[in-house]
Amino acid sequence: MSEKNYHSRLLDISKKLDHVIEKLKTGYIDQKNQPPWFFWLLLSPFRDLKTVSKLQKGVSTFLTSEFLIPILPLLATVVGIPLSIPFDIPGWVLPVSAGVIGYGVTMYIYFKEMLNFNSKHFHLGAYSSLRKQEYDIFKPAFLDPEGEFYFKGVYDFVTASQSSHTTVERLIREYLHTEKTSYEAKIRSLEDKIKDNQVDFEEKLNEVSENSEELTKELYDFIDGLVADQKATDQEFEYVIELIKDINTLLFRIHNKGMTTKDLNILTGFTLYELKGSKLVQIEDVNTSGVSPDVMDLDDPKYKNYGAVKVINDNLDKPIFNAPYTGHIVVSHKMRIDQDDTWVYNFHFDESNTKAWHFLVENATLESREIYRLVHALCLLTLDFKGKKQKGAVSQ
């Protein structure tokens, strides 16, 4: 896929997801001033009655609008009164029954609207309770109080990067033109001095020549630095886009087939251990050489240099880097899964894997700690899917 298509995909993602993110953020603030969603549902027809009373667009518009919903119970009650006359039943039975049925139908309609992002009746409390898995996926990423996130921001950032290359070329041309003008002025000055003092000509000419070579060398060094920075920036964007694609694929897999610990290989091969007593017991070993032990005793001296053992024995909250042999890196990260369980996630990659090195070590455009938080969140999701049946599958 070309760089242009990457850019278009980001814009398409922002158009589809940013309004959902904004709706969730607005609902997250509004729900603090709203009653529980069940009572909000029961009171919905009564709130909309105020709107019905203000409708001034005629009977035809009224009958085809959503304002008919809140008065269904009243209409059903009125219709039930004449229906009860031919039957030998108390006059209040059919109207009351019709009113209750009408109210139930209204509740069903409002209930569907409370889970619809595009509806003015959308209620975050109902969404978080009835679609908890989706809500829990959105909440850590988009409702973080430390900052806001929109895909449009990523799109704008990439757009600015693409335009920066043109800006760099313009600055270089301006710089060269300025230097050329400066050199020409110096040469003209020297020519005037040659006419007045022929003896100093060669000395001055050599001085200018040396300065010119030095400035030229500095200029080329400056250009080489700009080109290298641009290439590094382009590579970083490619890595970020690949990571977004991998996360999108995983989200679709979560919906379609659920999630297991085997799906945790976002960047590299990995091993996953669970702390049980004084031992680390292996849960998964995916895309590695398979030499990692199944069980490691924390008190056994032969495992003392293993990163997974060190983060437990030294009670480290930050990842630890280990090189079990030349050219190979293992990054061990300890995670609290709940109050009682602790897991250790180990990234396995070679030094030549620049993508893994960029995300896990260099702490560049995307902070490394966000990658560790992402893996921690995915580990928590695997627990939610144990033993659960999945909904109907969808395609990307």
Q: Quickly tell me which residue has 């990423």 as its tokens.
A: 141
φ, ψ of residue 385 in degrees (nearest 5):
-95, 0
Mean pLDDT of 262-271: 87
Beta strands at 342-350 and 320-325: parallel, antiparallel or unpaired: unpaired
Mean pLDDT of 62-80: 47
φ, ψ of residue 294 in degrees (nearest 5):
-70, -35
- In this prediction, residue 59 carries a pLDDT of 42
| Average pLDDT value over all residues in the chain | 72
Q: Is the pLDDT of residue 63 over 50?
A: no
303 — pLDDT class (breaks 50, 70, 90): very high
381 — pLDDT class (breaks 50, 70, 90): confident
Judge contact between 361 and 371, C-beta under 8 A: no
Q: Is the pLDDT of residue 139 over 50?
A: yes
349 — pLDDT class (breaks 50, 70, 90): very high
Q: Is the pLDDT of residue 261 over 80?
A: yes
The rounded distance, in Å, linking the Cα atoms of 323 and 305 is 10
The three-state (H, E, C) secondary structure of 355-378, written as one string: HHHHHHHHCCCCCHHHHHHHHHHH
pLDDT per residue as tens digits for the range 180-201: 888 788 888 877 777 767 666 6
pLDDT > 70 fraction of the chain, expressed in percent and rounded: 56
CB atoms within 10 A of CB 49: 12
Q: Which two tokens stand for residue 317?
A: 């909250």
Judge contact between 284 and 271, C-beta under 8 A: yes
- In this prediction, residue 280 carries a pLDDT of 95
Q: What is the DSSP string of 139-202?
A: HHHHS-TT----HHHHHHHHHHHHHHHHHHHHHHHHHHHHHHHHHHHHHHHHHHHHHH-GGGHH
Cβ density class 347-358: b for 16+ within 10 Å, e for less: bbbeeebeebeb
The rounded distance, in Å, linking the Cα atoms of 225 and 141 is 35
* H/E segment holding residue 129: helix 124-130
pLDDT per residue as tens digits for the range 213-259: 777 777 667 666 665 556 656 667 777 778 788 788 888 877 777 77
- In this prediction, residue 163 carries a pLDDT of 67
Q: Which range in 47-56, 275-284, 316-325, 372-381 is most confidently predicted, on average pLDDT?
A: 275-284
Judge contact between 69 and 106, C-beta under 8 A: yes
The rounded distance, in Å, linking the Cα atoms of 320 and 346 is 10
Pick 268 or 84 by higher pLDDT. Answer: 268
Judge contact between 298 and 280, C-beta under 8 A: yes
332 — pLDDT class (breaks 50, 70, 90): very high
CB atoms within 10 A of CB 292: 19
